[in-house]
Structures are given as structure tokens and as C-alpha cells.
Structure 1
Amino acid sequence: MLLPAPVELPCRPDHAGGPLCDRTAATLDLMSRFGDEGGRTAGALHLLCGVPEPGPVQSCTRTLNRPMTIHGSGGHLHLLGREITIETNPGTPRARTVLDIPVWDFDDQGARPVRPVSLQAGETVKVTCRHDQALRDVLPAFEGQPDRYVLWGEGTTDEMCLGMLQVTFP
């Protein structure tokens, strides 16, 4: 089960003067690099998850439409990723964290087994990611690239927030 969340990461205040720091310009840049689908994904994620407040932390809560059991979890972020969590039934007495990676490692994106968690239709699963534009200053992949408003995109220097659950259905 894939759990995508929007990415809406504005430029840092001291770097906000660049032409790609405007969200519309950044969307057009994505479309020029990946076709129309590149720009549509951000909008589709707004339909799925709601329109988030731009910033370093983004999340998406999904309501399950059928019962399932979680057996494993994993995450996928790119180079600006810092951390990812997946919770079931957040904010309730039945809340459980099934993935908690407080220090994201782009080179370690494997799935992790979890003690099985059985969920019913109507229960919720939430993915939360944190990204950090300051990593642009230290990672070689960003050398020579202008600062920009970062949206969900396919390139390694774009970003994603994707939780993944290995599930079975009754």
C-alpha cells in the first residue's frame, strides 16, 4: 500500500530571490523536465491529502476502505529528506507507530518487518516527512543548482514523501 504525501518546501528566506522560488515557476520547471505528469502530481496529492501549509513537515492521513494487516513498512524520500514516520490511528488510544526513521539515509530505503497490525475499514494511517533545504549547501548533487521551491518530483534533487506498507487482506 503506497502512502504518498504532498511536498511543499519553499525556498529558505535568505535564498528566496531566485526565479524558481516561486511555486508556479517551480511547477513549470517540473513539467519541462518530466512532462505534464510532473506538474500534475502535486495537485493530485492535494486532492488526496488536502492542501498543506508550505514548510519542512508534510503529512497525509488516509482512511482505510477495507480491513488489512500490516506486516512491513518502508519509506522513500530523496536527498532533502530528514525523517519519516508512519502511524496507525494517530491521536487515538489505538495509535501505533509502524515506521520511525528519525535520521533519513537515502542509501537505506529497504522495508522493515513489523509485528502484525490488524486494521479495520474506517481506521486511519498517516505518513509524515520532514525535509531540509539546508542540505543543498552540503550535498554535491545540488552544486551549481539554483535554490527552488521543491515539490513532489521524480528527480533525485526533487523530493518525495512516500510511505509504503506491506499488507495482506482477509
Structure 2
Amino acid sequence: MTLAAPVEVRCPPGASGPACERGYALERSELKRVAEGIHWLCGTSVEDYLRRPLGDGSRQATHCDFPVREDGTALGVLAHMHLRGTAFRITLNPGTPAEKILLDIPRWDFQWQGEYWFERPIALKQGDRVRISCVYDNAEAIPGPDGKPLEPRYITWGEGTYDEMCLGGISWVR
């Protein structure tokens, strides 16, 4: 079961220029259609993200809910973000009495992307909901993969480590 959420990471207050515009990010992303399609999939829009309070830019969150379409057994989960990611979570039935956190990485590290297997399988029922949630910090420059600083800029879905993803999954059997 593939999980994804929109990525619309804005520049922090005080940062400006072409690199802080969404069009700039989309021009440089080979996944611009994915960036648009995930909004459709999640029932969100770019405007939803532009209206959100930004604060200092260090806690920009996104999420998306997915229905479980048939009964099955979850064996593990997958987590994937890049360098601006700071927190990652997958939750079963969020906001309900049956809520169960399947994966919680409150201090994300790029090296932690991969699969995590449960000690005990978890039952999934048709009609359950699974939420993927990601948080990004775009408040200041961070070290890039080559050691050079990555200055804040507008970020959407993209393959390169300079771009971002909010991607996860559940390994399960029927």
C-alpha cells in the first residue's frame, strides 16, 4: 500500500526572490506532475498550503489519509523523505479510539529511510484509514550532501536530495 502526501515547503519569513516561488521549484523538478497529482489524490490544493500559518518555517507539516480497501495483515512500513524532513509518522485510524501509531520518527535522519518490520503483524480492516504525516524545516541553510549549504527555497516533490518527498508504504498480505 503506497502512501504519499503533498510537499509544499515555503520559504521562511525574510527570504525572497525567484527561488522562493513555487514555479521555480516546479521548473526544476522532474516530478512536477506528481506534485500536482498528489494534491488531487489527497483532496488538497496548493492554496490550502499557502494559507497555512508559516511561523519561522521550521515546522511545515503535511499529511494525507488513505482508505484500507480490503482486510489484510500489515507486516511492516516504509519511510522516505530527504534532507529537510524532520519528522515522519504513519498512523492507523487517526483521531479515533482505535488509533494506532505504526511508525513514529520524531527526529528524522536522511539515513533512516527504509523498511521497518513489526514484531507482531497488525490487522487491517476494510474501512480503516491510514495517515502519512511529514514535517519539514526550511527556516535556515542546512548542510547538503556535498557539504555545501542548502539555502531555503520553495520545495515541491522531486527526486534529488535537494527536493523533498513524503512517501511511505505498508507491506501487507491479504
TM-score, with length taken from structure 1: 0.87
1:42 to 18, 30, 35: 35
Moved more, 46-55 or 114-123: 46-55
- Please name the residue that 2:133 is paired with: 128
Give yes or no for contact 1:20–1:146 (8 Å, CA) kept in 2: no
- Please name the residue that 1:116 is paired with: 121
Give yes or no for contact 2:150–2:162 (8 Å, CA) kept in 1: no
Cα distance change, pair 103–144 in 1 and its aligned pair in 2 (3 A): closer
* Letter paired with 1:157: Y
Cα displacement string for residues 72-115 of structure 1 (whole angstroms, at most 9, x for unaligned residues):
11210000010100000011111100000011111122322223
Q: Which blocks of at least 5 consecutive residues in structure 2 are unaligned?
A: 55-59
1:145 Cα deviation from its structure 2 partner: 5.3
- Please name the residue that 2:170 is paired with: 165
Q: Which blocks of at least 5 consecutive residues in structure 1 are unaligned?
A: none
Give yes or no for contact 1:18–1:146 (8 Å, CA) kept in 2: no
- Please name the residue that 2:158 is paired with: 153
Cα displacement string for residues 29-87 of structure 1 (whole angstroms, at most 9, x for unaligned residues):
22xxx2xxx21111100011122424610000011221221111121000001010000
Could you tell me the percent identity over the aligned residues? 39
Q: Which structure has the highest helix share of the two?
A: 1
- Please name the residue that 1:23 is paired with: 22
CA distance in 2, matches of 1:90, 1:145: 34
* Letter paired with 2:83: L
Please tell me the root mean square deviation across aligned C-alpha atoms, in Å: 1.8
Give yes or no for contact 1:18–1:147 (8 Å, CA) kept in 2: no
